[in-house]
């Protein structure tokens, strides 16, 4: 249940911030937060990351439903007793549902976080995207930790095999 609360928090925060953008900014309008680093920019995306697959909503519906079902399955089967795995899956679930709501209701995703990282004009994103990325990073950390534990069990703490 705790993990679903995280997912719900992500969805609510994502949808609230998107509502603020849609109702208070013109499309393309930008507000400087930190000059040359961070802006709030009203943007819409009818595709996936970096605008790929523009207008392929049916594909996004199918993929997102499969992803949501898969994440929920793993939350029930694999996350018991594994806090990091559960949190990572909850973040991914909230992010996937947040963008799915946009695609269903608006036929586009509302993006607004606009950054320049080391002078690179990073594509505009949103809270759901952030939750997805953080969730994937935490999942990779979980996988690395599990691999390490598995090797320690097999070879011992110092990395040599014991018979």
Model confidence pLDDT, tens digit, residues 33-48:
999 999 999 999 887 6
The domain spans of the chain are 1-152
Which pLDDT value is given to residue 117? 87
Instruction: Give the number of other CB atoms < 10 A from CB of residue 149.
Output: 10
Which pLDDT value is given to residue 159? 57
Residues catalogued as catalytic: 111, 129
Which pLDDT value is given to residue 126? 97
- First and final C-alpha spacing in the chain: 43
Which pLDDT value is given to residue 118? 86
Predicted TM-score of the model (pTM): 0.87
Q: Which residue ranges in the chain fall short of pLDDT 50?
A: none
Whole-number Å distance between alpha carbons of 112 and 82: 33
Which pLDDT value is given to residue 61? 87
């Amino acid at each position: 249940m705790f993990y679903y609360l995280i997912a719900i928090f992500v969805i609510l925060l994502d949808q609230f911030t998107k509502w603020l953008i849609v109702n208070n900014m013109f499309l393309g309008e930008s507000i400087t937060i930190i000059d040359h680093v961070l802006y709030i920019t009203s943007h819409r995306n009818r595709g996936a990351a970096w605008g790929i697959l523009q207008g392929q909503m049916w594909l996004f519906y199918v993929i997102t439903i499969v992803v949501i079902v898969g994440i929920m399955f793993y939350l029930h089967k694999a996350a018991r007793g594994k806090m990091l795995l559960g949190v990572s899956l909850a973040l991914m679930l909230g992010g996937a549902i947040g963008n799915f709501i946009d695609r269903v209701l608006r036929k586009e995703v509302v993006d607004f976080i606009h950054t320049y990282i080391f002078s690179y004009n990073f594509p505009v994103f949103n809270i759901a995207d952030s939750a997805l990325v953080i969730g994937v990073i935490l999942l990779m950390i979980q996988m690395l930790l599990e691999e390490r534990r598995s090797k320690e069990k097999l070879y011992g703490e110092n990395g040599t095999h014991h018979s």
